Chain A
């Protein structure tokens, strides 16, 4: 495809072909092997979470006082915890909580952060100032207090957890999006698109966002393990899943107490989290490459 120097493609002038940019990206993503490996891992984790009842060798909440704090063995592949529960079964069931938390919170973060940041960056001036001062307030906001309050008013359901994390974690994405758009919006290709009468929304969606996604995807990838750990921290003040329901974060946190004698209680859930993070990293990198029209 002939490509003018200022980055405007054929598609810019032909509105009916607009979806092609994102569809092309999808096609390119499917061809990226690492990204596909990442996708398969994520899919596998989701399947494990869904099929936890079938897959786990033991009941994850059944306590066995004759098998407390056992090292990994053939009977218990990754050992048992302080109440004699099979750690593998808890790991498998923990995927439910932790995958849900990891993915949903990041979707919330994107849903709030992207539009807010884009609006501030593209709108500029007073809009930018007001939105960014609001972001400053949220960033310095004592969320610990708010979370304790939420727990007592609404009880500690998992929805409260999404609310608690989602409401404060979007600030980085918003500021990043704004920064990217601030630096891109005066570029030639954007000016050209504007000169050709493209509306703000079109410019943001077709030119600015695809070109600024790289760093945003990275922070969102890091947001996944952060959210998983935050879930564990918050479960200690009664938000999120309640014991005895397992989650990877709480397994790490509970295992930390006896880390000197039984490091495996921390190691295995941490490995699971690392695997998910790695999968999202590959997927994110692939997505970035795929969206970059000049990348390959």
Chain B
């Protein structure tokens, strides 16, 4: 089943000094049980894309337009607030980078998980708390009976992120959207949380969207990759193909610039310049000012995302 379908999504924000075009024509989809990585740098539009999918943006200043924007078969753009609320958590649940700001400091972990459960199902508080303990145990928190009574400040960053995952799982969502879930964590804790997410996905068969700036996280966790830059999709494909034979010059440059891939102290391959300014994106291909193979045409033509093989698409007139 098609869990997520995004076609030609545009998201802009009106600001006092003009319009910020955060997402400029993004399309991708997700099937049941599939895991998708959306990789991009700050300002690439990867988080805004998923926030738009769950209608988490305040409108206005945000303005969302799309040919198709559907979640679990429901038209997200046409849905009213009540309908959207019933999709959130049940069809798609989200885990964010900073669990400390996503949790309420004055309520216990158990209360907050129970609240989510009761918002979607008619169960007693006692039953909901019992489920919260089971969920905390599922995310491998030791001594869940005690932790359920803890307040957020009593938990470490890694435990908080586990609690957030427990909360996201509480309504058995069809798709879990994780936005940089491990970026604030130490490297060993990151590896544990990624392992946990993979295990739960394998066990429940839910879909997974992993939003990250880290190619390492993508290489470790997902089946398929969408590479974003300047509010657009540069390339999509199966994870192995993307890493083995990247097509888009941006994907190639990103992979080449990764430090520490070989032994020895050395200069790294840089990508010259800086990411595009979303209130004043360059004409044509957003990557052309930094692209080693760009020509005058790349300034003039906005490259369409073209299919170039099994499950692969690339937006580059020099490659496609």
Real binding pair: no
